[in-house]
């Protein structure tokens, strides 16, 4: 009997195995992300914000997987720090990058509390300085949520072009940068808008990061809110927690 007579069955079996492998991979990816969101150690203050912050969708957009090294720039209260900690698992690590400030700084206090929590033993704190980033030796993902505009605040007095290049160097080749932030009106002056509204024009953020060497990959629109007219300070009770936000992914070549 010729081999060709087996070909249809053989090809069908291979196709079935391939589809099964793809399905298993997708299930596994969904499982560890779902488990991170369902983590019982997450504080109520975090879980109450899930409807607005869409954690499962955002983790999937980041491409995070078990074993990854993640740097979170300006983690605030640690909403995403805890999620990434569970998503990367015991073989991964999450670095909370905070300002080189004293222990009473809000960012430092928030990160220190998570580092001290045994539920998140793979979280470490670093300073958002060249030495701090160099200690990581290359991240798979650098993530910042609702805080990229802070780099432009007048009181921060930061050379943002140089700092974007520092972020570039903190990521391993092929790694990604995810920037999630509050949308400002197109053409808004970056510094003045950051100071007054805590927002940034998405096009300005994209242009700055591409200039630093990043390749723009794409965006997620799950945090978009067309009802936000982009004129209010993000802490205004009328819009707080419901701002129009962009989520951009960049890759280091």
Per-residue pLDDT of 135-145, as tens digits, reads 999 999 999 99
Q: Indicate the Cα dihedral angle 228, 230, 232, 236, nearest 10°.
A: 40
pLDDT at 30: 65
Mean pLDDT of 155-172: 97
Average pLDDT in the chain? 90
pLDDT at 22: 38
**Rounded CA separation 99/116 (Å):** 18
Architecture per CATH, 3-251? 3-Layer(aba) Sandwich (3.40)
Structural contact between residues 142 and 63, judged by C-beta atoms closer than 8 angstroms: no
Nearest to 30 by CA among 57, 6, 5: 57
Percent with pLDDT over 70 in the chain:
88
Out of 16-25, 107-116, 241-250, least confident range: 16-25
Task: Tell me: pLDDT of 3 over 70.
Answer: no
Cβ neighbours of residue 131 closer than 8 Å, sequence gap 6 or more: none
Dump pLDDT digits (tens) for 219-231. 999 999 999 999 9
Is the model's pTM score more than 0.85? Answer: yes
Task: Tell me: pLDDT of 40 over 80.
Answer: yes
Cβ neighbours of residue 198 closer than 8 Å, sequence gap 6 or more: 149, 150, 182, 233, 234, 235
pLDDT at 18: 46
Structural contact between residues 246 and 180, judged by C-beta atoms closer than 8 angstroms: yes
Out of 8-12, 195-199, 211-215, least confident range: 8-12
Nearest to 206 by CA among 228, 226, 234, 183: 183
Out of 26-35, 151-160, 234-243, least confident range: 26-35
pLDDT at 19: 39
DSSP 42: S
Nearest to 94 by CA among 114, 55, 122: 122
Residue 238: alpha-carbon gap to chain centroid: 26
3-state secondary structure of 165: helix
pLDDT at 101: 83
């Amino acid at each position: 009997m010729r081999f060709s007579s087996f070909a249809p069955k053989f090809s069908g079996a291979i196709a079935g195995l391939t589809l099964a492998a793809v399905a298993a991979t997708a299930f596994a990816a969904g499982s560890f992300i779902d488990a991170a969101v369902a983590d019982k150690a997450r504080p109520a203050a975090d879980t109450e914000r899930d409807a607005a912050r869409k954690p499962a969708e955002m983790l999937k957009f980041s491409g995070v997987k078990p074993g990854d090294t993640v740097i979170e720039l300006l983690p605030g209260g640690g909403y995403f720090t805890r999620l990434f900690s569970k998503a990367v698992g015991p073989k991964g690590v999450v670095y909370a990058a905070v300002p080189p400030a004293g222990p009473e700084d809000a960012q430092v206090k928030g990160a220190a509390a998570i580092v001290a929590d045994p539920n998140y033993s793979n979280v470490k704190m670093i300073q958002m300085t060249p030495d701090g980033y160099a200690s990581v030796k290359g991240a798979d993902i650098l993530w910042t949520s609702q805080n990229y505009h802070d780099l432009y605040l007048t009181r921060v007095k930061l050379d943002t072009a140089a700092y974007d290049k520092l972020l570039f160097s903190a990521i391993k080749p092929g790694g990604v940068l995810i920037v999630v932030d509050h949308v400002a009106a197109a053409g808004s002056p970056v510094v003045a808008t950051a100071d007054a509204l805590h927002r940034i024009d998405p096009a300005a953020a994209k242009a700055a990061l591409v200039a630093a060497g990043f390749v723009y990959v794409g965006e997620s629109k799950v945090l978009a809110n067309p009802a936000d007219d982009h004129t209010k300070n993000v802490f205004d009770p009328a819009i707080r927690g419901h701002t129009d936000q962009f989520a951009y992914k960049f890759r280091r070549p």
